[in-house]
Amino acid sequence: MLLAELLGTYFLIFTGCAAVVVNANNDNAVSRSGIATVWGLALIVLFYSLAHVSGVHFNPAITIAFAICKRFPLEKASVPVYILAQVVGSTLAAGTLRLHFSGPHDVFAGTSPQGSDLQAFVIEFIITFYLKFNISGVATDNRAIGELAGLVIGSAVLLKVLIVGPITGVSMNPARSLGPAIVSNCYKGIWIYLTSPIVGCSCL
């Protein structure tokens, strides 16, 4: 389970952030819609590959929310260890990108608010709340069609990245923001991305 969370988070962050970096280094060749599609498709691939192993959290906010509503298998792993695996995976992914895109190609693949901190906090809260809403509706409710869960969740992420990307960078995931921040030593607005997704997920 822990290895699945570490490797899954690594793949998600590496793939999604690589799209951001490649786009910035190649005159927006990937495009905003392309970046959103990459994030969504990466999550869909990971869901169907690893959902049966770890539950495909890849996100401390999701892990904490599942623990609060007693849907986390505490008998198999602890919440702090799960979160540690996710943060390590994210940091390793950001480090890999930094090694391959350094010098004149150095692009910060993390998240930072483009408006006020309050605006970023509220938006991250809203989109993470609805991410948990989507997950609860299709992945944890026994009445839902489980085979469609990956498509619904991946599509939800795609839409959120497409719409909100220019405003906050779209985190919805403390590990997604913390890994690149550690590697690039850039912590602008990091408190927003560490707190707002957790609050947003835990409200549902």
| pLDDT 10s digits, 26-80 | 888 999 999 999 999 999 999 999 998 988 999 999 999 998 888 877 666 789 9
DSSP per position, 23-75: HHHTTTSS-HHHHHHHHHHHHHHHHHHHHHHH----SHHHHHHHHHTT-S-TT
Whether pLDDT at 147 is above 90: no
CATH number at residue 69: 1.20.1080.10
Res 146: pLDDT: 67
27: number of Cβ within 10 Å: 7
Verdict on whether the full-model pTM lies above 0.85: yes
Q: Which helix (H) or strand (E) holds 136?
A: helix 117-138
Q: How many domains does the chain have?
A: 1
More confident residue, 44 or 144: 44
Share of the chain above pLDDT 70, in %: 92
pLDDT of residue 140: 65
Which pLDDT score, from 0 to 100, does residue 4 have? 95
115, burial (CB in 10 Å: exposed 0-12, middle 13-18, buried 19+): exposed
Q: How confident is the model at residue 81 (pLDDT cuts 50, 70, 90)?
A: very high
Give residue 135's pLDDT: 87
Quote the domain boundaries for residue 55: 2-202
